[in-house]
Amino acid sequence: MTNSGNKHTLSAFDEEMDKIRSLISEMGSRAESAVEGAMKALLTNDMKLAKKIRHEDKIIDKLEKEVERIIVQTIALRAPMADDLRELIAAIKISAVIERIGDYSKNIAKRVGHLKTEDFLSDNNALQRMGEIAGEMVSTAMESYAKRDIDLAIAVTRRDDDVDQLYKELFVDFVGFIAKHPEAAQEVAHLLFISKNLERIGDHSTTCAGMIYFTETGENLPDD
């Protein structure tokens, strides 16, 4: 049963819910640009941008703590039920997941400057492609959150398979590359971690989509 759209008799309750939603949206849009920025910094070897992403992670962490504080307070004071309860439980999980996406973006950004195999990078469409899909998954998940749109949530989960598949392919490529160019092992290991981070970002976006689906329907996303 989705929200009827009617307001709570207690308007302060609505205000708290609105505050939580807007904080999560802010976290989401920051995480979205962190993923994008981290990949851009990587591909253009932009140290300044990389530093900005690392700073962004700190802001996202702070926002998560703030969201958590308001949610705990709302649960304690309002004793929420039904869709309100589901939304708050989902909000705790979604904010935690966005915080992780921020971490992974930071982790990618940290590796900027350690990579000299730019040829390899710019040739490597799969990694770029993976970064694009992961970024789109985050943004679609957040759009789904804002619009309470379960079709968009389902769309996010569909893309997770693409990311997983790319990760598997990349893994084979990287290992093969190391075998041929053992001198590049360290750098390629960085790339391997980056692809793993992107794969995890895809997973977290999927978790986020699942929680949106749960909020709206009271049920878990069907596994296809």
Partner 1 sequence: MAEQNSQSDTSDDGTDAHKITARNVNVFYDDKQAIDDVSIDVDMENVTAFIGPSGCGKSTFLRTINRMNDTIPSARVEGEIKLDGKDIYDPSMDVVQLRARVGMVFQKPNPFPKSIYDNIAYGPNIHGLAANKAELDIIVERSLQRAGLWNEVKDRLSDSGTALSGGQQQRLCIARAIAVDPEVILMDEPCSALDPIATAKIEELIHELRGKYAIIIVTHNMQQAARVSQRTAFFHLGNLVEFGVTSDIFTNPQKTRTQDYITGRYG
For residues 23 and 53, give the distance between their C-alpha atoms in angstroms, rounded to a whole number.
19
Mark the segment that binds partner 1 (CB under 8 A) among 1-9, 46-54, 94-102, 129-137: 1-9
Complex with partner 1: residue 57 or 87, whichever CB lies closer: 87
Which of 81, 119, 179, 180 is the binder for partner 1 (CB under 8 A)?
Answer: 81
Indicate the helix (H) or strand (E) that contains 100: helix 82-110
Maximum Cα–Cα distance across the chain: 68
Which of 49, 59, 70, 85 is the binder for partner 1 (CB under 8 A)?
Answer: 85
Which of 30, 40, 54, 86 is the binder for partner 1 (CB under 8 A)?
Answer: 86
Residues 6+ positions from 59 with CB-CB distance below 8 Å = 30
Q: Is 72 in the site for partner 1 (CB under 8 A)?
A: no
Q: Is 83 in the site for partner 1 (CB under 8 A)?
A: yes
Q: Is 4 in the site for partner 1 (CB under 8 A)?
A: yes
Please tell me the total number of residues recorded for the chain in this structure. Answer: 224
* C-alpha to C-alpha distances, 188 to 79, 166, 181, 183, nearest whole angstrom: 51, 16, 10, 10
* C-alpha to C-alpha distances, 20 to 37, 58, 175, 219, nearest whole angstrom: 25, 19, 44, 22
Q: Is 10 in the site for partner 1 (CB under 8 A)?
A: yes
Of the candidates 172, 154, 123, 171, the one whose C-alpha atom is nearest the C-alpha of residue 217 is: 154
Q: Is 216 in the site for partner 1 (CB under 8 A)?
A: no
At 4, list the tokens.
Answer: 């009827």
Which of 56, 84, 160, 173 is the binder for partner 1 (CB under 8 A)?
Answer: 84
* C-alpha to C-alpha distances, 41 to 111, 176, 181, nearest whole angstrom: 10, 26, 25
Mark the segment that binds partner 1 (CB under 8 A) among 43-51, 82-90, 100-108, 159-167: 82-90
Q: Is 9 in the site for partner 1 (CB under 8 A)?
A: yes
Complex with partner 1: residue 17 or 130, whichever CB lies closer: 17
Complex with partner 1: residue 93 or 196, whichever CB lies closer: 93
Q: Which residues contact partner 1 by CB under 8 A? A: 1, 3-4, 6-10, 13, 78-86, 218-219
